[in-house]
């Protein structure tokens, strides 16, 4: 059973993504802070909220975000470091968490690519 199935949708997922975008728009955070923070928010949002979180990323920076995500994920085969999500930080746990998260990172990249193609057609 996945975390999504156990916990169900979190109503705070989308407002958290909106808050990050507001902070970016008000120059409270830089794009370099925004991109990884938004990725983390989306990764740990409920799967039903993923697309709505992506909708919070302004269209004018979405291509830049897609490029960031590709550069972040592809070199590590969609298994970036997961140490920030671990309580018990052993190498075995780290590798297991990376493998566990890989399908969600792949899905995240698929959704980004679909949105990017949609924006390019517009």
Q: Give the range of the structural domain holding residue 116, as residue numbers without chain letter.
A: 11-121
Contact 85, 41 (CB under 8 A): no
Q: What is the pLDDT of residue 80?
A: 87
Whether 56 is in a domain gets the answer yes
Q: What is the pLDDT of residue 6?
A: 39
State the DSSP string of 68-98. Answer: HHHHHHGGGTT----GGG-SS--HHHHHHHH
Whether 5 is in a domain gets the answer no
* Angle (deg, nearest 10), helices 62-73 and 31-43: 70
Whether 53 is in a domain gets the answer yes
Q: What is the pLDDT of residue 67?
A: 96
Whether 2 is in a domain gets the answer no
pLDDT in tens, 3-30: 444 344 556 788 999 999 999 999 999 9
Indicate the burial class of 26 (C-beta count within 10 angstroms; 0-12, 13-18, 19 or more): exposed
> Is the pLDDT at 106 greater than 80, yes or no?
yes
| pLDDT greater at residue 5 or residue 122 | 122
Whether 67 is in a domain gets the answer yes
Q: What is the pLDDT of residue 39?
A: 94
Whether 43 is in a domain gets the answer yes
Whether 3 is in a domain gets the answer no
Q: Which tokens go with 74?
A: 């592809």
pLDDT in tens, 47-82: 888 888 999 999 999 999 999 999 999 999 999 888
Q: What is the pLDDT of residue 86?
A: 79
Tell me the average pLDDT across 30-49: 91
> Is the pLDDT at 2 greater than 80, yes or no?
no
Whether 66 is in a domain gets the answer yes
State the total domains in the chain.
1
């Amino acid at each position: 059973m996945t975390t999504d199935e156990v916990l169900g949708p979190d109503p705070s997922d989308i407002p958290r993504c909106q808050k990050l975008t507001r902070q970016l728009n008000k120059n409270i955070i830089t794009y370099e802070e925004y991109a990884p923070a938004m990725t983390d928010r989306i990764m740990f949002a409920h799967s039903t909220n993923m697309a709505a979180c992506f909708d919070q990323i302004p269209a004018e920076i979405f291509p830049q975000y897609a490029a960031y995500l590709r550069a972040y994920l592809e070199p590590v085969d969609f298994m970036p470091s997961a140490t920030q999500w671990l309580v018990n930080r052993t190498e075995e746990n780290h590798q297991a968490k990376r493998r566990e998260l890989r399908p969600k990172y792949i899905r995240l990249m698929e959704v980004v690519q679909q949105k990017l193609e949609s924006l390019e057609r517009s």
